[in-house]
């Protein structure tokens, strides 16, 4: 796999901490590098001990590489190593240790719902791309409040939660604003989307995410699943409304030139190829 890039971005998200610069040829832990001196940072929001975060190492020794009560500390990438009581990022150095903005030591599990439809013109005809001649897919995208980047409306898997539940819940919260809806509205949203989300979907990706929040000891992993509205008559009709950590929500064309958060562009490329769509 290619060396992570966003996990080495200079300024750490939401802080003024600068990562120790890690060149491509020094990313791997297998490369000896005695001069390596990463910056230590765990965000104040994590040190405050919210329910979603682990305590600091020392006072606490979790069962790494196992299902630890209801917290899944196993990695989709296989067993990870532990050094001085801390898990090591399976993709190598990031220039920063501690947990940064992430709550868990080791893998932080997320799920990414990729909801797609075919782009149509005003008469309902499918739109093909002028250059590739392939039909254009659209996906529901949100603009993240934390960094301003466009992204898939994904989120963290709660302890004990099934990935299938996280996919539907995060989509409802971030793209349909189910949080703010009154009970009747929420029920309507639930009924309209549970059909789409009860289909198996196409599993696009499962594993490490090159997320800007990753550190040497904490990192994002995800299961990305594509739910496709082939006829444009199910979820396409839903009124999108940004909620929770989303500032905006919109149907966006699936296209290689659209910059997206973390490794999300890579996931959309897989969807486009699978559906023989423009990329």
87 is a site residue for ligand RP5 (CB under 6 A): no
Residue 126: CB minimum distance to Mg ion, A: 30
In the bound state with Mg ion, the residue whose beta carbon lies nearer, of 68 and 244, is 244
- Distance of CA 217 to CAs 38, 71, 107, 160, Å? 11, 17, 9, 22
Residue 125 burial (10 A CB sphere; 0-12, 13-18, 19+): exposed
- 45 token code pair: 């929001």
Between residues 88 and 209, which has the closer beta carbon with respect to ligand RP5? Answer: 209
Q: How far is the CB of 156 from Mg ion (least distance, A)?
A: 7
Tokens representing 37 are 């001196």
Give the helix/strand (H/E) hosting 273.
helix 264-274
* Under rule CB under 6 A, residue 209 binds ligand RP5: yes
Q: What is the DSSP letter of 81?
A: P
Question: Which is nearest to 102 in space by CA: 178, 212, 256?
Answer: 212
Pairwise CA distance, residues 139 & 134, whole Å:
16
* 252 touching ligand RP5, by CB under 6 A: no
How many residues form the binding site for ligand RP5 (CB under 6 A)? 13
Q: Tell me how far, at minimum, the Cβ of 222 lies from ligand RP5, in Å.
A: 4
90 contacts ligand RP5 (rule: CB under 6 A): no
Are the C-beta atoms of residues 142 and 174 closer than 8 Å to each other? yes
Residue count of the chain, please give it.
279
State the minimum distance, in angstroms, from the CB of residue 253 to Mg ion. Answer: 21
List the structure tokens of 28. Answer: 């791997």
209 binds, among Mg ion, ligand RP5, none (CB under 5 to 8 A by kind): ligand RP5
Asked whether position 222 contacts ligand RP5 by CB under 6 A, the answer is: yes
Minimum Å gap between C-beta 262 and ligand RP5 is 5
Are residues 243 and 174 in contact, defined by beta-carbon separation less than 8 angstroms? Answer: yes
Closer to ligand RP5 by Cβ: residue 189 or 225: 225
- The closest alpha carbon to 168, from 126, 210, 144, 196, belongs to 196
> Is residue 156 within the footprint of ligand RP5 (CB under 6 A)?
yes
Least distance (Å) between residue 246 CB and Mg ion: 7
| Contacts to Mg ion by CB under 5 A | 155, 170, 244-245
Establish if 262 lies at the interface with ligand RP5 (CB under 6 A).
Answer: yes
Tell me the residue number closest to Mg ion, measured at CB. Answer: 155
Hunting for tokens 């196992």 — which residue is that? 66
Binding of residue 152 to ligand RP5 (CB under 6 A): yes
Site for ligand RP5 in 99-128 (CB under 6 A): 110, 112
Q: Tell me how far apart the 2 most distant CA atoms of the chain are, in Å.
A: 64
Q: Which is nearer to ligand RP5, 169 or 278 (CB)?
A: 169
> Which residues bind to ligand RP5, rule: CB under 6 A?
110, 112, 151-152, 154-156, 209, 211, 220, 222, 245, 262
């Amino acid at each position: 796999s290619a060396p992570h890039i966003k996990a080495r971005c200079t300024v750490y998200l939401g802080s003024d901490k600068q990562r120790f610069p890690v060149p491509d040829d020094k990313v791997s832990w297998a490369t000896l590098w005695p001069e390596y001196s990463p910056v230590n940072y765990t965000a104040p929001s994590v040190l405050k001990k919210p329910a979603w975060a682990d305590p600091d190492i020392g006072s606490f020794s979790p069962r790494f590489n196992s299902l630890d009560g209801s917290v899944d500390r196993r990695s989709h990438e296989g067993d990870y190593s532990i050094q001085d009581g801390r898990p090591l990022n399976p993709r190598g150095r990031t220039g920063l240790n501690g947990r940064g903005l992430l709550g868990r030591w080791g893998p932080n599990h997320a799920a990414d719902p990729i909801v797609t439809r075919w782009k149509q013109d005003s008469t309902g005809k499918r739109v093909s791309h002028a250059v590739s001649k392939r039909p254009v897919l659209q996906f529901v995208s949100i603009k993240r409040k934390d960094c301003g980047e466009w992204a898939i409306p994904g989120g963290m898997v709660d302890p004990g939660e099934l990935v299938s539940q996280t996919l539907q819940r995060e989509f409802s919260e971030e793209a349909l604003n189910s949080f703010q809806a009154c009970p009747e509205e929420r029920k309507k949203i639930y009924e309209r989307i549970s059909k789409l989300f009860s289909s198996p979907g196409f599993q696009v990706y499962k594993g490490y995410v090159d997320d800007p929040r990753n550190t040497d000891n904490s990192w994002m992993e995800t299961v990305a699943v594509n739910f496709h509205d082939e006829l444009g008559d199910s979820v396409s009709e839903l009124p999108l409304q940004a909620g929770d950590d989303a500032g905006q929500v919109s149907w966006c064309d699936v296209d290689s030139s659209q910059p997206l958060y973390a490794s999300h562009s890579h996931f959309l490329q897989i969807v486009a190829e699978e559906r023989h769509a423009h990329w």
